[in-house]
Amino acid sequence: MTTHPWADDRQEGDDKFHEECAVFGAWNVADAAAITALGLHALQHRGQEASGIVSYDGKKFSSHRGLGLVGDVFHDTRIMAGLPGSCSVGHNRYSTTGDTLLRNVQPLFAEFEFGGLAVAHNGNLTNAHGLRRALIRRGCLFQSTTDTEVFIHLIAISLYATVEDRLIDALKQVQGAYSLVVLSQDALMGVRDPLGVRPLVLGKLPGAANDASGWVFASESCGLDIVGAEFVRDVEPGEMVVIDKSGVRSVKPFAAQRSGFCVFEYIYFARPDSVLDGMPVYNVRKQIGVELARESGIEADVVVPVPDSGVPSAMGYAQASGIPFELGIIRNHYVGRTFIEPTDQIRNLGVRMKHSTNRPMLNGKRVILVDDSIVRGTTSRKIVDMVRAAGATEVHMRISSPPTKHSCFYGIDTPERSKLLAAQHDIAKMAELIGVDSLAFISLDGLYRALGHEGRDAEHRRYCDACFTGDYPIPLVDHDQEFGPGTA
């Protein structure tokens, strides 16, 4: 009913995959809810539809959740005052379903026999539907439509005595991708699924009194930086880090597995100043640009990024190719709401709310446009048209990801396959549809090289690259049951 602030983003300029969520947690920290809100703010790019925080002050849990950006949901000092305590867990949501009900906004919270528990989840379960049906048959009442609520009920009906054991009991029944931050009366827990598909890092605030205070979890290291926390380490795939009054413990309830970290985090999702699994994201992106220049170099006058995500790769491309890097497309930072009805007049004029061309940098030039991905191709077409209208004589598009041909089932919002341009057409046809003189994507091996490997080793896959390859490392239980295996 409300026009969301980023609606324009999606209508006009944003033909991207979208990260679904960010999580954050704080243990034994002054102003825990404020620290959490700041962390969520730094992680805003991972989810802009809704935000929530649950805090605990040693006696009771308090919560506030709302639709909108972190700064909107927590804009009021009275709201922050209503979230007392030194422990806290928070969540940003990007809904995949259009179903942004307030009751779906995380962290989910419930009162159990053993007390309260708040759960924040980044990822997506692949067997949630089946579990949900079984739980409902048992008499469980679901309050949300999120897969995350499955965790809650599994914990509630578990026969184990401690929260920790009940949580492990629940984890063993689910399949899928999850980075969880869980807050009980006694502990803050950070968990990654056995393949570690989504990121989760552990940090520590300076000046912490002892081993049991000052801890924070965040989806990315930039969530630590904003609050001045020191990066301690990534939570490992399949690990549960438990922080309580005795300090920090590591629990590993799963057998060791090969890693399956989402490679698209490096390409687009993560913030450029984050360091994931020891690799600075910005460096990886620049290096992809370098590889791209090597793989599909072409003569041209300028390298122009599609802002903002194409900038580092374009810089790498420019440095490797020696072609000047120029800001030929300017992004309007006051994007805000779509406030104008698209009448015929408005449409005919080709109004661009989000991008504008820097005509003198494009006019009469052979232009290499660098972007991070092509999803439906709608935006790419518009941008190419703009660049040509500004006088570019040639337009060559270089993409810093391989062609995205498959949907994601692990927590990323992707269109269904039939809407993915690369799933329907070969590169020549794509170039034609987008209207470029040439089009090239980084190769899979080039991508792995940019990440410091020799290339992709299908036997010992290092990352989840299913959106490029269709090689899904976690079984798609619900999907296969509904549509049949091999249809993703």
Q: What residue numbers does the annotated binding site cover? A: 262, 309, 371-372, 408, 464, 467
- Smaller CB separation from its own copies, 251 or 335: 335
Least Å distance, CB 428 to its own copies, is: 31
**Cβ distance 378 to 385 under 8 Å?**
no
Q: Where are the beta strands (DSSP E) in 159-214?
A: 176-184, 188-192, 201-204
The Cα 465–Cα 394 span in angstroms is 32
Least Å distance, CB 394 to its own copies, is: 21
Query: In Å, how far are 14, 178, 276 from 262, measured between CA atoms?
Result: 21, 12, 11
- Smaller CB separation from its own copies, 272 or 470: 272
Least Å distance, CB 316 to its own copies, is: 11
Sign of CA dihedral 357, 305, 264, 35: negative
The Cα 95–Cα 393 span in angstroms is 41
Angle of helix 148-157 versus helix 128-137 axis, rounded to 10: 40
- Smaller CB separation from its own copies, 321 or 407: 321
Amino acid at 24: F
Other CB atoms within 10 A of residue 141 CB = 7
- Smaller CB separation from its own copies, 159 or 256: 159
Whether 21 is a known active-site residue: answer yes
The Cα 337–Cα 88 span in angstroms is 31
The Cα 383–Cα 263 span in angstroms is 26
**Cβ distance 406 to 466 under 8 Å?**
yes
- Smaller CB separation from its own copies, 75 or 258: 75
Residue for token pair 């379960």: 125
Binding-site members for [4Fe-4S] cluster are 262, 408, 464, 467
Choosing from 21, 87, 140, 222, the catalytic residue is 21
Least Å distance, CB 424 to its own copies, is: 31
Give the distance, in angstroms, between the CA of residue 134 and the centroid of all CA atoms in the same chain.
30
Least Å distance, CB 11 to its own copies, is: 13
Catalytic residue numbers, as ranges:
21
